[in-house]
Copies of this chain bind each other. A is one copy, B any other.
Amino acid sequence: MSAQPSRSIQFDDQGNLRHFLTIDALPAETLVQILDTAESFIDFGLREIRKMPLLRGKTVVNLFFEPSTRTRTTFEIAAKRLSADVINMSATRMSTTKGESILDTVRTLEAMHTDLFVVRDHASGTPHLIADHLPSHVRVINAGDGRHAHPTQAMLDMFTIRQKKDDFSRLRVAIVGDILHSRVARSQIHALSILGAREIRVIGPRTLIPTDIQSMGVNATTDMTDGLDDIDVIIMLRIQRERMDGQLIPSEQEFFNRYGLTEEKLRFARPDAIVMHPGPINRGLEIASSVADSSRSVILNQVTNGIAVRMSIMARIMGGSGR
């Protein structure tokens, strides 16, 4: 679970953020600036007229090689509220397509004077590859690449935690479920580390926890009772039902019995612990409905914050752009 540091490509020569590809090499200061700017967009989201001219006359391309209506929609809404024109490209590319063809597609779109690519792909590293081969005035945001990273999701999670809990240095955070295959977990762990969380714990079946997880400064356990003890923030991950083949997870029922977050298990955590989930939730698999819909759940706050955080990231990386 090691990551290629990408600090250099993410910043320009003046030290301005120009791409948002991965969190692991970013300084805490950058993360805090993004969260602070997002605060102002939260107020904006409550206004009568949710439209500001920041990206007027700019073109944002949603380049989703892996289908995702939900995440695509959040970027589309965020970009349109900033007055950008949005082009949706739900390209399905063959697994045999060579990297060079992706670059041809992107170079062609760039030649149309587009300004920002929001990229999702099943292969790790595609957004980085694209950023590496585009002219310097074009921006790239990683909207999820393989098992590698989902940095905007992690940022909206950090925003939600800060909104509810204030100081990271006092927080113990548990991430529960399929850690091994989760780009969300990876990005969350990086962000929590950088922001100085007191403890990061992962909980899940042994088969779904990376063997080298301790090297990331993370504690691991297979038991929910131990795992949730003294925890302030519980992040449930989404289980991909296609992994429910008996190899990695015995059965849906058994997974829910051991790791599904019920009101009963929630009692192991701190009494004011909050419950998070990147969505869409599988009720009765990762989480009981009574917990998902309770006052402890901040799942819908995450969605609301996701718009503000994505607007913040777009505004920041587009700030210094211009042909």
Contact = CB atoms under 8 A, between A and B. Distances in A.
Contacts of A304: 111-113
Contact of A280 (B58, B81, B104, B114): B104
B111 A303 contact: yes
A73 B281 CA distance: 31
A190 B108 CA distance: 26
Given A85-B81, A100-B289, A105-B280, A57 B46 contact: no
Q: How large is the interface on A (under 10, 10 to 19, 20 to 34, 35 or more residues)?
A: 35 or more
Contact of A69 (B59, B85, B91, B306): B91
A56 B46 contact: no
Interface in A88-131: 89, 91, 100-101, 104-105, 107-109, 111-114
Interface stretch (A47-55, A206-214, A224-232, A268-276): A47-55
A45 interface: yes
Contacts of A45: 113
B111 A300 contact: yes
A125 B275 CA distance: 32
A12 B81 CA distance: 28
Contacts of A89: 69, 73
A307 B73 contact: no
Given A69-B89, A111-B301, 10 more contacts: A46-B113, A46-B323, A49-B58, A50-B57, A50-B113, A59-B77, A77-B114, A104-B280, A108-B300, A112-B303
16 contacts: A47-B57, A47-B323, A49-B57, A49-B58, A50-B58, A59-B77, A69-B89, A73-B109, A77-B112, A101-B280, A104-B280, A108-B279, A108-B280, A111-B300, A111-B301, A112-B304
